[in-house]
Every structure is written in structure tokens, then in C-alpha cells.
């Protein structure tokens, strides 16, 4: 029996994780859950899975949740202390980090320092603090399993191989909803257009990141830290069918890829049950149904965010955290109708240009840089003065 603490259980990854737990009650038990503000769903999850500790965004929501629950109640916490308590709860062997954004950094670091294995969906943690987090993983002797489908594919494709034999990691990208749109038309993108992802159903932030291709940029940085491979050895191929989830090329010219129907339950299950495999209910892959699998190079001018992510890695320690902060602020502004889709990369680039990269020695340093990036990005948006 593996005891799990799931951070962000009401999100897209959180819900899929709980479906897997429900399908394998003999293998997994939930001991802690956290959510933001979706109390309806959270209350149902608590009644179904009976965790000992739960946490929500703030005190008011904690009070509301307490009144909604009937029968024996879990310990109800809130805010960052609540997230840390859930991430470090004694009974948990593994923490599923499925919060979105840099908000996942503190609890994920706390889980590692408490000696928990981590199933990591929250890629922003590695983007902001990759070097520090990988040091913590080593120092505390824990395992960090990727949940992101591309990184799970790489993880599965490098098992049993020597890292010095890797020539290149090739991350695949669907290209999102605007792959076929001519650049001129990008000025007309609406919120609904950007939320309409062709292959995956996900939370709003990552769906917008997929449309700008910042998601792939974040994943390049995530791969750099997870697999300790320099950016020059990480390529991106557009693969609109999302069947090959990523591949690893070796120095002898052999390429190993991992394939499957696009469904996050497969990579989540592998992170939960590694090194074993469990049934997931994912539709088996029938390659005869495809007339062809296609691949091509991304257009880094049209999808400027991908280029910015490579630039951020090159600029050094704090630039990826600033890029990530500016992206979170720009995506939120776009979703609130305050800036145009095409302004997202501009906000990020202007914020990055205003930042002089510094060393990041502690998680507190990262949080400081993250706050700086958020304030600067908000200022950049303010300067657009309603005319983005």
C-alpha cells in the first residue's frame, strides 16, 4: 500500500490521479489532499477518499469547507502552512505535486526535504528552481518521477541506458490550436480559440501555455534539470498527432521513443507505481487508424515563447524564474481579457530584458526573483495603457 498526498487534487491532473487511486484501492491510499477554491468538488473528494489532512487557499474557505463536510472531519488547514503540512504529512510516502504555477514550489521543496518521493506534474517548480530542487533530491535521497507526458516518455526511453550515451532528447509538441494559423491571423485570437486544444483536456493555464508554446519552453527547462542534459542537446519536434510522447537519440544513431494514446492517466500511473505498471483504462494504441504520423521543426518566430525559454536557460540562474513569473502574469491578464494573445510573448520578453540574471542560492532567493518578475510584468502590462 502506498500512501499519497495529492497537492492540487481538484485540478485536471489531481482528478485523474484520484481516478487511478479509486481503480486501485489495494495499491494506493490518500492521506492528504489540497485544493484552491473549488469546494464543491473538494468536499466530494474528501468524503470519497477520507484523507487525514486537507488544506484550502485561505481561512474563510477552510471555515466554509468545515460546514460543508458531514461525519468525521479531517484536519482542515489553509494557506502556505496548510500546503506544507499536507506535503510533509508523516504517513505519506509519495507526494503528487499537481498545483499549477510557482505556487507549487514551496510545498514541493518541503516534501523533498521531508524525505517524500515526488510525482511531479508542477513543471514550474523545476523551471524556477531546477538546480536547487535537484540538489535537494540528491541530498535527501528521494525519487522525483515525472508526470509530464514528454518527460515520462524520456524517463521510459532512458531506463537501462548510460547518460553519457545520450546524443539528444527530442521532445514532441502538438503545436496547439494555432499551428496552421498564418502569423497575420494571430492578432485575432480570442480566449475561446486559445482554450480549444486539439489533443489534450487540461487546466486553463497550461492550455494557454500550449497555445503560445510556452508549455514546450517550460518543458525544455524541465528536461534540462530532470535528465541533467544541456539545452543544446534538447530539441523540439512538432508532432500534431501526439502519439509519440518524446524520444531519446543515442550516440550510435538509435532512437528510442515512447508511444501511446494521449491520456495523462498513463504517465501519472507510471509515476505512482514505478517500477511496476498498473491498468489505467487508457485506450490501447492502434497505429493502423493513423494514415501518417508527421513531424516538423517549430517556427520560433511565430511561437516566440519557445525561443524565450531557450534564451532564459542560456542567460542563467534566475532568468527562467523571471520568465515563468512574467508568463503567469501575462496568461492571467489574457484570460481576464486585459491583453491580447499576441501580447503574451511581448510582456515576457520586456520583463526578461529588464532583469539582470543573479545566482539563486536558496528557495527564498527564488521566491524573491519570482515576486520581482510578477511586479515587473504587471508594470509592463500597465504601460500598455489599455492598448496592448
Residues making contact with ligand NAD (CB under 6 A): 8-14, 35-36, 38, 57, 98-100, 103, 121-124, 148, 200, 202-203, 205-206, 264
Q: How far is CA 147 from CA 162, 245, 270, 291, in A?
A: 22, 12, 8, 29
Task: Cell numbers for 185, please give them.
Answer: 491571423
Q: Which is nearer to ligand NAD, 31 or 87 (CB)?
A: 87
Among 145-153, 167-175, 242-250, 273-281, the segment contacting Mg ion (CB under 5 A): 145-153
Q: Which is nearer to Mg ion, 55 or 212 (CB)?
A: 212
Q: How far is CA 136 from CA 189, 221, 246, in A?
A: 41, 18, 27
Residue 326 CA to residue 17 CA, distance in Å, equals 29
Q: Which is nearer to ligand NAD, 5 or 9 (CB)?
A: 9
Q: Which is nearer to ligand NAD, 226 or 350 (CB)?
A: 226
Q: Does 349 bind Mg ion (CB under 5 A)?
A: no
Q: 144 near 123, Cβ under 8 Å?
A: no
Per 3-state DSSP, the chain is made up of helix, strand and coil in percentages (nearest 5) of 50, 15, 35
Q: Which is nearer to ligand NAD, 245 or 388 (CB)?
A: 245
Q: 337 near 346, Cβ under 8 Å?
A: no
Q: Which is nearer to ligand NAD, 12 or 212 (CB)?
A: 12
Give me the least distance between CB of 207 and ligand NAD, in Å please: 8
Give me the least distance between CB of 146 and ligand NAD, in Å please: 9
Q: Which is nearer to Mg ion, 62 or 202 (CB)?
A: 202
Residue 14 CA to residue 23 CA, distance in Å, equals 14
* Residue 262, H or E segment: none
- Name the nearest CA neighbour of 362 among 136, 165, 44, 120: 136
Taking CB under 5 A as the criterion, which residues in 146-205 touch Mg ion? Answer: 148-150
| DSSP collapsed to 3 states, 282-335 | CCCCCHHHCCCCCCECCCCCCCHHHHHHHHHHHHCCCHHHHHHHHHHHHHHHHH
Helix (H, G, I), strand (E, B) or coil at 278: coil
Residue 373 CA to residue 355 CA, distance in Å, equals 8
Give me the least distance between CB of 203 and ligand NAD, in Å please: 3
Q: How far apart are the first and last CA of the chain?
A: 53
Residue 8's binding partner, choosing from Mg ion, ligand NAD, none, with beta-carbon cut-off 5 to 8 A by kind? Answer: ligand NAD
Residue 107's binding partner, choosing from ligand NAD, Mg ion, none, with beta-carbon cut-off 5 to 8 A by kind? Answer: none
List residues bridging with 145 in a β-sheet: 119
Residue 249's binding partner, choosing from ligand NAD, Mg ion, none, with beta-carbon cut-off 5 to 8 A by kind? Answer: none
Alpha helix ranges (H) inside 114-239: 123-140, 149-158, 191-194, 204-212, 214-226
Q: Which is nearer to ligand NAD, 11 or 74 (CB)?
A: 11
Instruction: Give the burial class of 279: count Cβ atoms within 10 A of its Cβ; 0-12 exposed, 13-18 middle, 19 or more buried.
Output: exposed
Count other C-beta atoms under 10 Å from residue 62's C-beta: 18
Residue 317's binding partner, choosing from ligand NAD, Mg ion, none, with beta-carbon cut-off 5 to 8 A by kind? Answer: none
Residue 18's binding partner, choosing from ligand NAD, Mg ion, none, with beta-carbon cut-off 5 to 8 A by kind? Answer: none
Residue 98's binding partner, choosing from ligand NAD, Mg ion, none, with beta-carbon cut-off 5 to 8 A by kind? Answer: ligand NAD
Residue 15 CA to residue 9 CA, distance in Å, equals 6
Give me the least distance between CB of 250 and ligand NAD, in Å please: 26
Residue 203's binding partner, choosing from ligand NAD, Mg ion, none, with beta-carbon cut-off 5 to 8 A by kind? Answer: ligand NAD
Q: Which is nearer to ligand NAD, 3 or 12 (CB)?
A: 12
Residue 262's binding partner, choosing from ligand NAD, Mg ion, none, with beta-carbon cut-off 5 to 8 A by kind? Answer: none
Give me the least distance between CB of 148 and Mg ion, in Å please: 4
Give me the least distance between CB of 197 and Mg ion, in Å please: 12
Give me the least distance between CB of 37 and ligand NAD, in Å please: 6
Residue 82's binding partner, choosing from Mg ion, ligand NAD, none, with beta-carbon cut-off 5 to 8 A by kind? Answer: none
Q: Which is nearer to ligand NAD, 205 or 355 (CB)?
A: 205
Residue 245's binding partner, choosing from Mg ion, ligand NAD, none, with beta-carbon cut-off 5 to 8 A by kind? Answer: none
Q: Contact residues for Mg ion (CB under 5 A)? A: 148-150
Amino acid at each position: 500500500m502506498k500512501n499519497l498526498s495529492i497537492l492540487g487534487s481538484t485540478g485536471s491532473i489531481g482528478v485523474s490521479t484520484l481516478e487511478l487511486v479509486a481503480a486501485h484501492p489495494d495499491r494506493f491510499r490518500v492521506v492528504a489532499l489540497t485544493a484552491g477554491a473549488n469546494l464543491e468538488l473538494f468536499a466530494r473528494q474528501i468524503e470519497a477518499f477520507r484523507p487525514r489532512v486537507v488544506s484550502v487557499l485561505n481561512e474563510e474557505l477552510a471555515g466554509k469547507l468545515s460546514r460543508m463536510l458531514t461525519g468525521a472531519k479531517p484536519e482542515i488547514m489553509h494557506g502556505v502552512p496548510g500546503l506544507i503540512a499536507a506535503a510533509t504529512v508523516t504517513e505519506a510516502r509519495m507526494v503528487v505535486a499537481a498545483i499549477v504555477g510557482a505556487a507549487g514550489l514551496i510545498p514541493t521543496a518541503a516534501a523533498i526535504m521531508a524525505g517524500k518521493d515526488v510525482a511531479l506534474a508542477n513543471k514550474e517548480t523545476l523551471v524556477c528552481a531546477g538546480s536547487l530542487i535537484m540538489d535537494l533530491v540528491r541530498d535527501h535521497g528521494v525519487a522525483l518521477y515525472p508526470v509530464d507526458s514528454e518527460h515520462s516518455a524520456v524517463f521510459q526511453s532512458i531506463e537501462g541506458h548510460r547518460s553519457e550515451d545520450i546524443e539528444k532528447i527530442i521532445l514532441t509538441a502538438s503545436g496547439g490550436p494555432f499551428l496552421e494559423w498564418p502569423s497575420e491571423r494571430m492578432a485575432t485570437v480570442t480566449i475561446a480559440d486559445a482554450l480549444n486544444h486539439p489533443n489534450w483536456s487540461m487546466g486553463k493555464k497550461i492550455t494557454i501555455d500550449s497555445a503560445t508554446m510556452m508549455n514546450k519552453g517550460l518543458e525544455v527547462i524541465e528536461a534540462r534539470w530532470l535528465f541533467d542534459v544541456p539545452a543544446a542537446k534538447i530539441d523540439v519536434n512538432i508532432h500534431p498527432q501526439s502519439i509519440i510522447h518524446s524520444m531519446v537519440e543515442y550516440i550510435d544513431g538509435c532512437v528510442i521513443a515512447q508511444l501511446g494514446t494521449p491520456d495523462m492517466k498513463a504517465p501519472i500511473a507510471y509515476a505512482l507505481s514505478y517500477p511496476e505498471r498498473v491498468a489505467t483504462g487508457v485506450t490501447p494504441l492502434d497505429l493502423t487508424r493513423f494514415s501518417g504520423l508527421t513531424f516538423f521543426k517549430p517556427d520560433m518566430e511565430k511561437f516566440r515563447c519557445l525561443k524565450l525559454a531557450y534564451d532564459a536557460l542560456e542567460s542563467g540562474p534566475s532568468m527562467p524564474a523571471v520568465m515563468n513569473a512574467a508568463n503567469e502574469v501575462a496568461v492571467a491578464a489574457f484570460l481576464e481579457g486585459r491583453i491580447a494573445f499576441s501580447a503574451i510573448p511581448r510582456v515576457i520578453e520586456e520583463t526578461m530584458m529588464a532583469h539582470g540574471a543573479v545566482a539563486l542560492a536558496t528557495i527564498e532567493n527564488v521566491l524573491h526573483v519570482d515576486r520581482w518578475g510578477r511586479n515587473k510584468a504587471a508594470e509592463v502590462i500597465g504601460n500598455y495603457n489599455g492598448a496592448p
